[in-house]
Amino acid sequence: MRNVFLFIRRYFNFLFFLVLQVVALSFLFRYNKFHEAAFLTVATEVTGGFNKKYNNVEYYFQLKKTNDSLAKDNVRMHQLLKENYEAPGNEKKLIVDTVKIDSLKKIQKYYFMDAKVVGSTTALQTNYITIHRGAAQNVKPNMGVVSSQGIVGTVVNVSQNYATVMSLLHRQYKVVVKLKNNNDRGTIEWDGLSPLFVTLKDIPKSVKVTKGDTVLTSPTSSLFPANIMVGTVYEVVDDKTSNFYTLKIRPSTNFFNLEYVYVIENQQYDEQKKLEDSTRKKFQ
């Protein structure tokens, strides 16, 4: 404290001059329109420069986070590319009049479309997500929806430019999945309790299941390509009255901060459904 007083005493005249200068300039800029406008212009320019530099720094650090997310997304999508194509289950080639017709040519079965999430709920018994992509952008009901983390749900209704998605956190939602370790299939559904967990049923007790096991989409699903992440086993519930486990699954998708999703079109869905419905009617 003594040094502060010595400093003020030593430079009193200079400090007093600065105070008077600031007061004089404030009066000048406050009561003179021309000088006030000039001061605001300079101040805006200076603060704008500082803000630009600050935003550049902030953007750099945010950009790293964004790039990391995009990189992970790209890796995941590349890993799924082989699952998007399907060839007929025939190891022969047809030959007619010495002209070879390749019946094994792979065709793209699944087509991905990005969409912005504009609304969602997680606290209800029947949760839906609204996306900004609709009939005008080739979205139809019964299309699967995934995020960069895992499955999200299924499109159930569309308008011209929007669509509603029945979330995995919906009491009526069910999807066939498999355990990664042994490919045993079961059904995922939600009990309506915690939005942090869903339930996997129909896994027989003869299967070895441990906490942390990965759950993926099944190749028998008509909505999703095989091997898309669903979640991980959080708890194995051994029901003594049943021959099947009830597995508590932590979904890989964070439904609380969804911003972008991918809508999946199964380009053979109508053909498959038409055949299955026809077969069902024929043998009833």
CATH number at residue 197: 2.40.10.340
User: Residue 273 domain-assigned?
Assistant: yes
Q: Which of 82, 108, 134 is the last residue of a domain?
A: 108
User: What pLDDT shows up at residue 277?
Assistant: 83
Q: Which of 47, 48, 29 is nearest to 37 (CA)?
A: 29
Residues 124, 44 share a domain: no
pLDDT average, residue stretch 210-238: 90
Same domain, 189 and 225: yes
pLDDT at 81 over 60: no
pLDDT in tens, 185-210: 999 999 999 999 999 998 988 888 98
Token readout for 148 is 């960069």
pLDDT given for residue 88 in this prediction: 46
Question: Are 212 and 162 in the same domain?
Answer: yes
* Residue 104 pLDDT greater than 60, yes or no: no
Name the token pair of 187: 């059904």
Output the pLDDT for position 241: 82
Does 258 share its domain with 269? yes
* pLDDT above 80: residue 211: yes
Same domain, 78 and 137: no
Confidence label for 173 from pLDDT (cuts 50, 70 and 90): very high
| Residue 281 shares a structural domain with residue 205 | yes
Q: How many domains does the chain have?
A: 2
User: What integer is the mean pLDDT of 34-57?
Assistant: 53
pLDDT at 217 over 80: yes
Cα→Cα distances 164→29, 151, 229, Å: 57, 15, 22
Please state whether beta strands 260-266 and 198-204 pair in parallel, antiparallel, or not at all (unpaired): unpaired
pLDDT tens string 128-167: 999 999 999 899 999 999 998 999 999 999 999 999 999 9
Residue 99 domain-assigned (yes or no): yes
Confidence (pLDDT) at 101:
45
Last residue of a domain, one of 75, 108, 141: 108
Whole-angstrom Cα distance, residue 68 to residue 57?
Answer: 17
Q: Work out the mean pLDDT of the chain and round it to a whole number.
A: 78
Which domain does 123 fall in, by range?
Answer: 109-284
Nearest CA to 236 out of 256, 255, 208, 263 is that of 208
Residues 75, 129: one domain?
Answer: no
Q: Hunting for tokens 């399907």 — which residue is that?
A: 86
pLDDT on residue 49: 54
